[in-house]
């Protein structure tokens, strides 16, 4: 991830409002592109469904099936995203670019097969949908799995203009496809579902095209990445807990007194869901600021320190670089907190006028404010977790993600017993616990950085039996035999 900030920083060079806006647009797409796309499409499709006079219940069915496809595909890929980010970084460092695209295809297939079967049962329960509509929603879910995974790969290409254009094309086609199909006589629900599916399909193809220009197609096994399970298995759990923790309160609310059945297995808690939907937007400033500021300023000092060690720097040089790195770290963390608090206050003050205008009740506004505070703590905690991963403190990052998940889960369960006044307090509890776990651990790790760098590594390289590497080796050998049949191997 470190190279992303440096590339984006180049876009800020020069004067002009348009240049600045373009740079922030690139940063927003890189860090939250698929989430922003989902938000824009959800709002746009809801507006179009209401404009075309769709019945309220069918609008609920449309939104529920769309949200479940987004939500479940995101959860399925959450662990793999962080794991694959590390794998791609390692392959680029080792100059084995040919292994990158096969890992994307292999991971997508591993998740799409069981995911497609399970979601097939899910969408089959929606009695109000026709067979074509069920197929479109199922196809949307299947497209979203590789789309979420691609976000772990697309940033490596650093072709931000192509990425932004791909996202814009997906949004425009998704929003324009529904009205165009409706003009051709297709019913409103099917037209909107088809437009959404086409929009994400275009985004998927466009991102793959960008990757193919940067990475070779590769010839190894599609599952060669499983060798990394023994290196970084904790990243799978860290990614899953972090993402699940961000939405566990919503799932619990679906089965609360606020929850109701939309159709089949699809449930909702419309009052709470709407409040959470708008509250989550408060995380964007810190997400963008992390890439633009922390990825540049802190990483420069971080790289200087480790370069001094690996390139034979003297002890005074190493100590000076260490002091600069520590000072930069705490300065960037302070800036993140200040920017997020300011953005949260402004957003809560301004959003109330818009939310009141679209029908938010007093209870919904209260839940919205509670979750704005909680999500602000969450995005700061996530930034600290990412900094832990910079130092390869993977167990610390996993503990941070687990703290958020546990805090949100327990806090939400407690709030359900206390009443609606406390709905949303689980996110605050999880975010606060995440911060309280991450900050002291990071401070202690940096304070003892010399020990962690020099003394925490094994003295001798012990060769142990590794079943994942062994399995990956057999798969690679089988892939090589398929690519070079016996006759061809003899010639070679």
Does residue 344 form part of some domain? yes
pLDDT at 367: 93
- Structural domain including 36 reads 1-231
| Residue 348 banded pLDDT, cuts 50, 70, 90 | very high
pLDDT at 295: 67
Same domain, 11 and 157: yes
Same domain, 216 and 268: no
Residue 261 phi/psi, 5-degree rounding, is: -85, 130
Q: Which residues of 372-408 are buried (b: 16+ CB within 10 A; e: fewer)?
A: bbbbbbbbbbbbbbbbbbbbebbebbbbbbbbbbbbb
Could you read off the pLDDT of 218-247 as tens digits, one per residue?
Answer: 767 777 788 777 777 888 899 899 989 988
Same domain, 200 and 310: no
**Better pLDDT: 286 or 432:** 432
Same domain, 398 and 298: yes
Is 176 in contact with 160 (CB distance < 8 Å)? no
Same domain, 197 and 318: no
Same domain, 209 and 261: no
Does residue 389 form part of some domain? yes
| Residue 420 banded pLDDT, cuts 50, 70, 90 | confident
Least reliable range by pLDDT among 14-18, 186-190, 206-210, 219-223: 14-18
Least reliable range by pLDDT among 176-180, 266-270, 285-289, 368-372: 285-289
Same domain, 258 and 227: no
Does residue 491 form part of some domain? no
Dihedral (Cα; 349, 352, 354, 355), 10-degree rounding? 150
Same domain, 327 and 431: yes
pLDDT at 145: 93
For the cut 70, the answer to whether the pLDDT of residue 86 exceeds it is yes
Does residue 249 form part of some domain? no
Same domain, 261 and 226: no
Does residue 70 form part of some domain? yes
pTM for this prediction: 0.85
Same domain, 194 and 99: yes
Same domain, 227 and 260: no
Same domain, 340 and 218: no
Instruction: Using a pLDDT cut of 70, give the percent of the chain over it.
Output: 85
For the cut 80, the answer to whether the pLDDT of residue 20 exceeds it is no
Does residue 248 form part of some domain? no
| Residue 7 banded pLDDT, cuts 50, 70, 90 | low
Does residue 347 form part of some domain? yes
Mean pLDDT of the chain: 83
Domain count of the fold of the chain:
2
User: Helix and strand tally (H, E) in the chain?
Assistant: 19, 2
| Residue 492 banded pLDDT, cuts 50, 70, 90 | very low
Does residue 346 form part of some domain? yes
């Amino acid at each position: 991830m470190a190279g992303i900030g440096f590339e984006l920083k180049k876009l800020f060079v020069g004067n002009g409002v348009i240049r600045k806006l373009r740079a922030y647009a690139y940063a927003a797409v890189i860090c939250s592109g698929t989430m922003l796309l989902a938000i824009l499409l959800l709002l746009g499709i809801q507006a179009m469904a209401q404009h075309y006079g769709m019945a309220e219940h069918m609008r609920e069915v449309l939104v529920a099936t769309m949200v479940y496809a987004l939500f479940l595909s995101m959860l399925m890929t959450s662990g793999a995203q962080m794991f694959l980010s590390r794998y791609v970084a390692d392959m680029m460092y080792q100059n084995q670019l040919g292994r990158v695209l096969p890992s994307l295809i292999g991971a997508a297939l591993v998740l799409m097969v069981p995911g497609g079967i399970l979601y097939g049962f899910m969408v089959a329960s929606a009695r109000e949908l026709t067979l074509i509509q069920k197929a479109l929603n199922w196809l949307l879910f299947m497209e979203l799995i590789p789309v979420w995974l691609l976000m772990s790969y697309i940033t490596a290409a650093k072709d931000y203009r192509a990425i932004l254009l791909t996202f814009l094309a997906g949004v425009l086609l998704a929003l324009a496809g529904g009205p165009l199909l409706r003009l051709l006589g297709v019913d409103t629900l099917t037209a909107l579902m088809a437009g959404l599916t086409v929009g994400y399909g275009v985004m998927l193809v466009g991102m793959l095209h960008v990757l193919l220009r940067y990475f070779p197609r590769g010839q190894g096994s599609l599952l060669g990445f499983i060798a990394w399970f023994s290196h970084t298995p904790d990243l799978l759990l860290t990614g899953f807990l972090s993402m699940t923790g961000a939405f566990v309160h919503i799932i619990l609310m679906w089965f609360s007194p606020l929850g109701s059945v939309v159709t089949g297995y699809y449930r909702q808690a419309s009052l709470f869901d709407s409040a959470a939907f708008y509250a989550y937007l408060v995380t964007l400033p810190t997400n963008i600021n992390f890439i633009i500021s922390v990825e540049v300023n802190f990483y420069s000092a971080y790289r200087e320190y480790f370069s001094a060690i690996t390139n034979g720097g003297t002890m005074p040089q190493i100590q000076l670089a260490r002091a600069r790195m520590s000072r930069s770290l705490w300065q960037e963390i302070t800036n993140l907190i200040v920017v997020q608090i300011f953005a949260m206050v402004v957003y809560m003050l301004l959003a109330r006028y818009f939310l009141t205008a679209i029908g938010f009740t007093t209870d919904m506004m209260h839940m919205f404010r509670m979750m704005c505070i909680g999500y602000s703590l969450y995005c700061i905690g996530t930034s600290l977790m990412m900094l832990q991963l910079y130092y390869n403190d993977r167990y610390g990052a996993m503990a941070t993600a687990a703290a958020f998940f546990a805090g949100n889960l327990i806090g939400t369960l407690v709030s359900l017993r206390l009443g609606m006044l406390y709905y949303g307090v689980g996110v605050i509890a999880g975010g606060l616990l995440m911060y309280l776990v991450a900050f002291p651990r990071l401070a202690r790790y940096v304070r003892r950085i010399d020990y962690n760098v020099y003394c925490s590594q094994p003295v001798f390289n012990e060769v142990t039996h590794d079943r994942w590497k062994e399995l990956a080796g057999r798969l690679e050998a089988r892939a090589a035999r398929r690519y070079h049949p016996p006759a061809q191997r003899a010639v070679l």
